Structure formats: C-alpha cells, structure tokens
Amino acid sequence: MKRNWWKEAVVYQIYPRSFMDSNGDGIGDLKGITSRLDYLKELGIDVIWLSPVYQSPNDDNGYDISDYQAIMEEFGTMEDFDEMLSQAHSRGLKIVMDLVVNHTSDEHRWFVESRKSEENPYHDYYIWREGKNGNQPPNNWGSCFGGSAWQYDESRQMYYLHLFSKKQPDLNWDNPRVRQEVFDMMRWWCEKGIDGFRMDVISMISKTEEMPDGEVHGLYGDFGPYCVHGPNVHRYLREMNEQVLSKYDIMTVGETSGVTVEQAKLYAGEDAHELNMVFQFEHVDVHGKYGKWTDEKMPLSTLKETLSRWQTQLYGKAWNSLFWDNHDQPRVVSRFGNDSPAFREVSAKMLATCLHMMQGTPYIFQGEELGMTNYPFAGPEEFRDIESINAYREWCESKKVSHEEFWPCMLFTSRDNARTPVQWDDSTNAGFTEGTPWIPVNPNYKDINARAELEDPDSVFHYYQKLIALRKQYPLIVYGKYELLMAEDENLFVYTRELDGQKLLTVCNFSEQEQEFVIPEEFRNGECLICNLSNDYSREACVLKPYEAFVLLSS
C-alpha cells in the first residue's frame, strides 16, 4: 500500500456558523476561527475541513453558493480568509475547502442568466425540462429536502431540477462549459494555496439523459438510480483530476452517499486518478418508516458488520474516511453512546477509541472532542435547518404522523443537533458570542466546555489528543490490516490490526452492563496504549465496566 500524508492525517471539521463569533452578531466567522487555531493545534489535528464560507443567501447554510470566489459577508472578507489561511499554515495546519458544485444557489449569476430565456448563453448551465401534460413536473422525483425535485420557472416557462431545495438548482455537468468554469474556479483556490477539497454530493453530478419516474417511497419517486453514480461521473472526475487535482499536492475527499465498496474503488482507488478518499454513510444510514427519521439505535452487530466490511474489502485497494458525526448527523455520544451524566464521558471516549484505531482518515466534527451532546429542542420552532423544518411540515403538519410519534425521531436525528454553538467556556452563551446566538447554545455548557476540559487531564479532549498522537506514533494504526473478532456479540466491538508482525487489539464495550472478555494470549503481556478506565489487562479473564475501552499492543 502506498504511503501518503493524507492517509496519516487527522481532519477536524469546522462548521463556521457555529464555531466562534468574533464580532458579537451571534454568527461564527473567519476571525473567530483564526482566534481558535491554537486550540486545534493543541488537539493535534493536521487538516481543517471548512464547511462552505462562500457568498450565499443561506437557504441551506452556505451549501447554496451564489459566488464561489467571494466570502459570505457574515463570515468576513477575503482578507480575513487569507489571514486565516496563513495563520493556519504557520502552525502547520492545512485547510480543505468545501466544494459544492452539484448545484449553485438560484441567486448565482449563472442561474439568474439561465432562467432568462432559451437564447441566453447560460441557458444550458442547469437542467431544464418541459412539464408533463401542460402543468405537471417532468417526473415524480422528490427532493432531499421534501416536495418535488422540479420547480416551474415563470420566465423560462420550464421546470428546473433541484435534488435539494428549490434554491439549489442542479448544474448541468454534461455541458463542457460548466465543467471548465468549475475547474477554473478550483484552480483559482488552489493557486491561493488551499490544501484540498471536500466535494459535496459529488456522486450526484451526472444524471441520466432519460429521466423516468422513480420508485415511490412516501410521497415522491426516488431519483437515486438516475442521478447517483450516474453514467459520466467517473469521466468527469478523471477530467477534473487531470486538469486540476493532479497539478497540486492537495487532499480530496468525495462525499459519496450510497456508494458501495465496489464503487468506492472507482472513486478512490489507489490508481483510479479520481479522488483520494470517499466519505460514505453506510454505518450511519437509516431507512426507517419515516425515511431518515428514527429514534432507534442501530444493533451493534449491524454496525460492526458495516464498518468491518469497509475495513476489509477496501484494504490495499482504496481509501475511506472514518467518522461518527458531521454537520448532517446527530451527536455521536447521544446516538451510539450514552449522554446521561454518568456515562457521557466514558462512552464518548469508548466511541473515539473504536473509530480511531481503524484504518482510514479520521474526521472529528467540532465539539465531538468535548463530548458535546444532542440538543433538547423544545419544539419545531427551535429548528433552523431547512431539512428539519420541511420534514416536520411534510410529516406532522400534514397529519401523516402524530407529533407524539414523530418528535422523538426529530430529537434523535435532526441535523441541528450538530449545529448548536461550540461550548468554549462556562460564561454566557458558552463563550461562543457576546450577542444572541443564531441557534441556541446547549444548556449543558456549564458542565461541558473546552476551558474545563483543557484543565482536566482526564477529559474527553485530552483523550482525543492522545488518540491522535498514537496514530502519529504507530504506522500500524494507519496501515495495519484489520480483523474483526466476536462478530455476533451484541455488546463488545473487538478487532485487531496487524503490520510487520506487530499486532494491536481494540476492545470496546458498547453496553451499559459489565461484560466478560478473555484476553487473547498474545496480548496478555502487551502494552496498554490507551484505555478510558483503569483495569488490569494482564489477566486472562477481564470484566469490562460499562462503556470501557482499551487498546493493547502485542508483546
């Protein structure tokens, strides 16, 4: 297997709106990020993935971009960006930009032109179709954020496709001029010195020519088979690689929802000349009776099967990302751990151990290193996220399901759980802002905050710091071969890694009960690299406490 810096790196995701506010308007900004670079350096990460900071009307918090070469006013100026980049570089930190090019904002200049008329030079920058039977959308596809995926445009008298909100029209990648515009823009950022791209829903950029009705789930048809991993996606990515990516020493990660292991080898194969790694969701994906909305925990055996399949089947062939949460997912400690005061810290550390000893590039989502939890939303009026707001409307206000039934699912899975402000200290608004935060601060900030954790050597923060340091110390953690043990066990997640005769054993108790475990002989006199509780791991039989985790190196 080739060795590359981005395989050895640890990434930290910043959702700028909620990270740190420097001017009291309640919205996180670039100067706020710059002011916290020392904190990230202390944590030990190498790369920052910055969620979008471009000019945007914020229908989807910056994932609807109206100018790719300007900074969102609320976040600051291009000078602030340059300062942040140079301050990051001077600390040895890299910055990876979010590249959102499946769609733009409807306020982007290209779309403003495109909708004018069929004669306009930009007319085919987007995906336009005639309606069906006069006034019906071209097909039955539903958008990811609810409603039809088609929007009728008065001036053009046609429908345009939007797989996300109607303010996020899909670009027409089949048009070579669109590809050139995107590649030029990417080069512009690379020349500025940024260190890579995280590519938003990059697996959706190529659509089939034919756009038949999709299979109906709920109210609308599924566009998946016609828009995800479409006919030309690999051709376009190879073109992008040849014209832009291959010219710079940058890191590229493709958000590829719904990708299979086989497809991942095409996107991120060692010699595929497309992207460095995929970012896929199989271990966190839920397909329940209300789509992604559920309040059920995934059985541990399912989680183990999924994570292990990716570990073993990609080994030596392609590269994957490792993550528990991001800005679209609920908080991991609430979802897979236990966020009650008795178990929050220990289970947060256990989950971190489980993920960080695997193969792949780890991503830490802001606040995860503090063990931040889901937010106790009082009602739908507290949501800011377009997906959550629309889902409540579509499911509850239309009376398809009762509030009582649906609400626990929203509490458990809403994206806004991840988007409450980072808890910096125990002062007003957790030190995030001196104004009114754009989304409420979690009331538990007095107990859970960065200042307290920096002072406590046993904190979740210091545990993450140690995990990151171990990855740097042991190539085995980056390059070792993975093997799952005790696959059927519903409480323990146990696996080994092996490289050049050296072996690592990771044992994680996912349950609230004590569990017995027999330590394999080769590890009995081994060195304990990290553990979240104290125990004697030199004995044959060991009783693990709730959420206990440890890692042993073979002797």
* Binding-site member from 6, 15, 63, 293 for ligand TEU (CB under 6 A): 63
Residue 415 binds: one of Ca ion, ligand TEU, none (C-beta under 5 to 8 A by kind)? ligand TEU
Angle between helices 261-268 and 300-314 (to 10 degrees): 40
Smallest gap from Cβ 32 to Ca ion, in A, equals 6
Determine the size of the site formed for ligand TEU (CB under 6 A): 13
For residue 67, report the phi and psi dihedrals to the nearest 5 degrees. Answer: -155, 115
Give whichever of 23 and 301 is closer to Ca ion, judged by the CB atom.
23
Is 328 near ligand TEU (CB under 6 A)? Answer: yes
For residue 554, report the phi and psi dihedrals to the nearest 5 degrees. Answer: -60, 150
Q: Please say if 540 is a catalytic residue.
A: no
Residue 448 C-beta-side C-alpha neighbours within 13 Å? 24
Residue 21 binds: one of Ca ion, ligand TEU, none (C-beta under 5 to 8 A by kind)? Ca ion
Residue 439 binds: one of ligand TEU, Ca ion, none (C-beta under 5 to 8 A by kind)? none
The Cα 244–Cα 190 span in angstroms is: 9
Question: Using CB under 5 A, which of the segments 25-33, 50-58, 63-71, 132-140 binds Ca ion?
Answer: 25-33
CA distances from 185 to 134, 180, 189, 323 (A): 38, 8, 7, 28
Q: Please say if 255 is a catalytic residue.
A: yes
The Cα 352–Cα 359 span in angstroms is: 13
Give whichever of 146 and 360 is closer to ligand TEU, judged by the CB atom.
146
Is 59 near ligand TEU (CB under 6 A)? Answer: no
Smallest gap from Cβ 529 to ligand TEU, in A, equals 33
- CB-CB contact of 164 with 218 (8 Å): no
Is 25 near Ca ion (CB under 5 A)? Answer: yes
* Binding-site member from 257, 321, 442, 511 for ligand TEU (CB under 6 A): 257
Catalytic residue among 170, 255, 325, 453: 255
CA distances from 106 to 15, 127, 159 (A): 22, 13, 13
Which residues lie below 8 Å from residue 549, measured CB to CB, with a gap of 6+? Answer: 349, 350, 353, 354, 506, 507, 508, 509, 531, 532
Position 273, amino acid? H
Encoded one letter per residue, x for contact with ligand TEU by CB under 6 A and - for no contact, window 67-106 reads ---------------------------------x------
* Binding-site member from 54, 126, 164, 424 for ligand TEU (CB under 6 A): 164
* Binding-site member from 85, 144, 284, 410 for ligand TEU (CB under 6 A): 144
Smallest gap from Cβ 84 to ligand TEU, in A, equals 21
Determine the size of the site formed for Ca ion (CB under 5 A): 5
* Binding-site member from 60, 170, 339, 548 for ligand TEU (CB under 6 A): 60
The Cα 414–Cα 253 span in angstroms is: 24
Is 29 near Ca ion (CB under 5 A)? Answer: yes
Is 46 near Ca ion (CB under 5 A)? Answer: no
- CB-CB contact of 287 with 19 (8 Å): no
Q: What is the dihedral of CA 294, 299, 301, 302, to 10 degrees?
A: -10
Catalytic residue among 46, 200, 368, 385: 200
* Binding-site member from 201, 266, 322, 348 for ligand TEU (CB under 6 A): 201
Is 391 near Ca ion (CB under 5 A)? Answer: no
Smallest gap from Cβ 21 to Ca ion, in A, equals 4
- CB-CB contact of 316 with 271 (8 Å): no
Is 194 near ligand TEU (CB under 6 A)? Answer: no
Is 292 near ligand TEU (CB under 6 A)? Answer: yes
State the distance between the two ends of the chain, measured CA to CA, in whole angstroms: 25
For residue 390, report the phi and psi dihedrals to the nearest 5 degrees. Answer: -65, -40
For residue 392, report the phi and psi dihedrals to the nearest 5 degrees. Answer: -60, -45
Give whichever of 362 and 546 is closer to ligand TEU, judged by the CB atom.
362
- CB-CB contact of 325 with 370 (8 Å): no
CB-count exposure of residue 536 (10 Å: 0-12, 13-18, 19+) = exposed
The Cα 241–Cα 229 span in angstroms is: 17
* Spacing of C-alpha 25 from chain mean position: 26
Give whichever of 23 and 465 is closer to Ca ion, judged by the CB atom.
23
* Binding-site member from 17, 229, 415, 462 for ligand TEU (CB under 6 A): 415
Among 390, 380, 383, 59, which residue's Cα sits nearest to residue 219? 390
* Binding-site member from 200, 325, 368, 548 for ligand TEU (CB under 6 A): 200
Residue 292 binds: one of ligand TEU, Ca ion, none (C-beta under 5 to 8 A by kind)? ligand TEU
Is 49 near ligand TEU (CB under 6 A)? Answer: no
Can you give the length of the chain in residues?
Answer: 555
Question: Which residue has the closest beta carbon to Ca ion?
Answer: 29
The Cα 132–Cα 135 span in angstroms is: 6
* Binding-site member from 6, 14, 21, 62 for Ca ion (CB under 5 A): 21
Encoded one letter per residue, x for contact with ligand TEU by CB under 6 A and - for no contact, window 358-397 reads -----------------------------x----------
The Cα 290–Cα 311 span in angstroms is: 30
b vs e for 191-213, b when ≥16 Cβ sit within 10 Å of the residue's Cβ?
A: eeebbbbbbbbbbbbbbeeebee
Residue 160 binds: one of ligand TEU, Ca ion, none (C-beta under 5 to 8 A by kind)? none
Residues near ligand TEU, by CB under 6 A: 60, 63, 100, 144, 164, 200-201, 257, 292, 327-328, 387, 415
Catalytic residues: 200, 255
Residues near Ca ion, by CB under 5 A: 21, 23, 25, 27, 29
